Amino acid sequence: MVICKASDYKDLSRKAANIIAAQMILKPDCTLGLATGSSPVGTYEQLIERFKDGDLDFSRITSVNLDEYKGLAPDNDQSYRYFMNTNLFNHVNIDKAHTFVPDGLEPDAEKACREYDEIIENVGGIDLQLLGLGHNGHIGFNEPADSFSKGTNCVDLTESTIEANKRFFESEADVPRQAYTMGIRTIMLAKKILVVVSGKDKAEILKKVVCGPVTPEVPASVLQLHPDVTIVADSEACSLL
């Protein structure tokens, strides 16, 4: 596990974008696993800038996103598909037919999860997976549990996640209670993993993830067992390390 300390959010975003850019340059037809949330927004801005400068080409890139709220349509402005379109895909030359997000409108959870696993398998797995870190240690929407999840699964969001995400909705009641998420096993099968962590409020959980025991009660702690993980964190997030 490599920990790359950034001075602030801008520096973190630049460093994370450097790693993704290197991956794209070395393998122009790679599959990127992508995340939503506030942590990667600056990284996406950096990637867009580099595309506009002519330094990056997304035309042969495939992407698979970590998760999607169950019940939200792609054009709902709180859906993760909408987030990806507005924060990255609409601004670069990626072929949207090669961008995948779990189908939030599929009511049959088993079908939605099976189909998403098939998509990930058909694209040949993930070359580089970008992750944010939840306050309770979740990655994707894999919440603290008794065991690590395997493939894509339908989860009930915890109170702390609903609380953290309500800032994006009109009221807490509007936050969907369930989501489809890529499983921990699938994340662990990615060849490389890049985690972006920002802010003082993430310092305690980052310490547990890096220095604590590997336990499904802190889902991201499993990353200690992956052979190629880089955590890019700003100085506030690193303050307890």
Among 103, 127, 138, 153, the one annotated catalytic = 138
Total residue count of the chain as it appears in this document: 241
| 58 to 77: interface string for ligand F6R, x by CB under 6 A | --------xx----------
Please say whether the beta carbons of 235 and 7 come within 8 A: yes
Using the minimum distance from each CB to ligand F6R, give the nearer residue, 60 or 239. Answer: 239
Stretch that binds ligand F6R, among 70-78, 127-135, 151-159, 222-230 (CB under 6 A): 127-135
Write phi, then psi, for 50 (nearest 5 degrees). -65, -35
In the bound complex, what is the minimum distance in angstroms from residue 55's beta carbon to ligand F6R?
25
In the bound complex, what is the minimum distance in angstroms from residue 120's beta carbon to ligand F6R?
15
Examine the residue annotation and report whether 75 is marked as an active-site residue of this protein.
no
Please say whether the beta carbons of 189 and 154 come within 8 A: no
Q: Which residues are 65's β-sheet partners?
A: 34
Which residue has the CB atom at the shortest distance from ligand F6R? 132
Task: Give the separation between CA 208 and CA 137, rounded to whole angstroms.
Answer: 8
Using the minimum distance from each CB to ligand F6R, give the nearer residue, 52 or 200. Answer: 200
Examine the residue annotation and report whether 138 is marked as an active-site residue of this protein.
yes
CA separation, residue 72 to residues 83, 155, 176 (Å) = 12, 15, 8
Stretch that binds ligand F6R, among 55-63, 104-112, 133-141, 145-153 (CB under 6 A): 133-141
Considering only residues 140, 176, 183, 219, which one is a binding residue for ligand F6R as defined by CB under 6 A? 140
- 181-240 residues in contact with ligand F6R (CB under 6 A) are none
Stretch that binds ligand F6R, among 45-53, 126-134, 209-217, 225-233 (CB under 6 A): 126-134
Write phi, then psi, for 197 (nearest 5 degrees). -135, 125
Question: Which among 152, 85, 9 has a CA at the least distance from the CA of 142?
Answer: 152
In terms of DSSP H, where are the helices of 129-237? 159-165, 184-188, 203-211
Examine the residue annotation and report whether 174 is marked as an active-site residue of this protein.
no
- 16-45 residues in contact with ligand F6R (CB under 6 A) are 35-39
Residue 134 engages ligand F6R in binding (rule: CB under 6 A):
yes
Stretch that binds ligand F6R, among 8-16, 85-93, 115-123, 129-137 (CB under 6 A): 129-137
Q: By three-state DSSP, how is residue 70 classified?
A: coil
List Cβ neighbours of 200 (8 Å cut-off, separation of 6 or more): 236, 237, 239
Helices 9-26 and 41-52 cross at an angle (nearest 10°) of 50
Q: Please identify every residue annotated as catalytic.
A: 67, 136, 138, 143
Residues that bind ligand F6R (CB under 6 A): 35-39, 66-67, 132-134, 138-141
